[in-house]
Structure 1
Amino acid sequence: MRLTPVFLLSATDAAHFPGETKTYGAPEIAFLGRSNVGKSSLINALLGSKQAHTSSTPGRTRAINFFALHEGAGDKKKQRPTMIFADLPGYGYAKISKAISAEWPKFIEPYLAERETLALAVCLVDTNIPPQANDTVLIRYLQEMGKPYLVVGTKADRLSGNVLAKSVAALKKAHGVEEILVVSSKTEAGTGVLWQALRAVLGAV
């Protein structure tokens, strides 16, 4: 069953996060990655709607955007979501790197470190470019914090065969991970497998 998405809010401060209450205390899936890695596009592909704003200008997302996902009919405002997606600001884009670096400690690090309802961090890496040091830093941070995470390779439709396989192998080696799920927001290849992984998280919380 496809979940029905409802936009909740944009947060630029920990005080703005959805309350961890009966209404909003559902497991949260956070999507993280470099600017222009395709976070919003992947979220839209998973949801089957254009809930997440996409932009040709990297780094446009400057807040954590929360989307509640519901099963079944009824008044969504009164239902506890099945899960919540959190679209986090990108990092690593040269023109805004200083601004993003200044904002991360204010509300993103507390979200990752202290959010009790955070069930999984989905770390997006671009399969079309060499491994990036910023991605490794994020993955190591989550490992050190003991946070559950999943590494997903985006834009897989742009590569094929041995080229894609070599790219994924290089990403695994550089980031020190054993598994990378490969997806394409354009063709939706791999999104079904990713959904299975996300639903598996629900059974573990």
Structure 2
Amino acid sequence: MKYTTQFLLSAMAAEQFPAPDSVRNAPEIAFLGRSNVGKSSLLNALAGEKAAKVSSTPGRTRAINFFALLDERQRAKLVFADLPGYGYAKISKSISAEWPKFIEPYLADRETLGLCVCLVDSNVPPQDRDRQLIDWMRHMGRAFVVVATKVDRLSGNERTRNLAALKKGLGTDDILPISAKTGTGIGALWARIEALNSAQ
């Protein structure tokens, strides 16, 4: 299905999150990962338009940005939530200190959160912070999918080797290789997302 994207709001506190009934209780998909892993680029590739701002400066996203995906009747069918990146050292400590106040409540308590898309860079070895995030998702019982971004930068052998290392290091056999640039894996990820609507 073809959607149009509507920016809803930027939230830096739990009370600023969109009211579920304002978007017809549409299931939300959260995009999480380290800074500069490609969250905004992936969101735009899925939406088919430049909904999220892409910055070459890591750590530029400092709020949870919510986007509604509207059907042909302009009804919200899905909501994308673009979360701030983590693990970028140059972000001020004051901003980092603020993150748990609105990010952890969102991930732990948000009733409309249907799927967490955990992004890892296929060009980078497994990171402790990524493993911690995945372990936390399992502990909280959240549905999640791990996507390995930027696979267009790897040769066939490198891709096979790096994905195997990520699966071992992150403790999961389910990793979708993705390239926002070439479109690799976008259809497979959409299938996971669309399953949320069919399950309702």
Displacement of 1:22: 5.4
Deviations 1:116-170 (A, max 9, x none): 0000000000000111111011110010001100000000100021110110111
Q: Which runs of 5+ in 1 are unaligned?
A: none
Q: Which residue of 2 aligns with 1:115?
A: 110
The answer to whether the 8 A contact 2:23-2:68 is kept is: no
Q: In 2, distance between residues paired with 1:137 and 1:24?
A: 33
Displacement of 1:189: 1.1
Q: Which residue of 1 aligns with 2:123?
A: 128
The answer to whether the 8 A contact 2:66-2:82 is kept is: yes
Q: Which amino acid aligns with 1:197?
A: R
Q: Which residue of 1 aligns with 2:59?
A: 59
TM-score, scaled relative to structure 2: 0.96
1:11 aligns with 2:6: no
Q: Which runs of 5+ in 2 are unaligned?
A: none
Displacement of 1:97: 6.8
Q: Which residue of 2 aligns with 1:26?
A: 26
Q: In 2, distance between residues paired with 1:177 and 1:104?
A: 26
Instruction: Identify the range of structure 1 (119-128 vs 159-168) with the bigger mean alpha-carbon deviation.
Output: 159-168
Q: Which residue of 1 aligns with 2:37?
A: 37
Q: Which residue of 2 aligns with 1:142?
A: 137
Q: In 1, distance between residues paired with 2:95 and 2:126?
A: 20
Closer, same or farther: CA 97–152 of 1 in aligned 2, 3 Å:
farther
The answer to whether the 8 A contact 1:181-1:190 is kept is: yes
Deviations 1:46-100 (A, max 9, x none): 1111110110100000000000001113xx3xx3x11100000000111117345
Q: Which amino acid aligns with 1:126?
A: D
The answer to whether the 8 A contact 1:142-1:149 is kept is: yes
Q: In 2, distance between residues paired with 1:128 and 1:97?
A: 26
Q: Which residue of 2 aligns with 1:46?
A: 46
Displacement of 1:197: 1.1
Percent of residue pairs bearing the same amino acid type? 61
Closer, same or farther: CA 38–201 of 1 in aligned 2, 3 Å:
same
Q: Which residue of 2 aligns with 1:170?
A: 165
Q: In 2, distance between residues paired with 1:35 and 1:99?
A: 17
TM-score, scaled relative to structure 1: 0.94
Q: Which residue of 1 aligns with 2:70?
A: 70
Q: In 1, distance between residues paired with 2:198 and 2:66?
A: 21
The answer to whether the 8 A contact 2:33-2:120 is kept is: yes
Counterpart among 155, 160, 169 of residue 150 in structure 2:
155
Q: Which residue of 2 aligns with 1:185?
A: 180
Q: In 1, distance between residues paired with 2:23 and 2:139?
A: 31
Q: Which amino acid aligns with 2:173?
A: E
Instruction: Identify the range of structure 1 (195-204 vs 136-145) with the bigger mean alpha-carbon deviation.
Output: 195-204
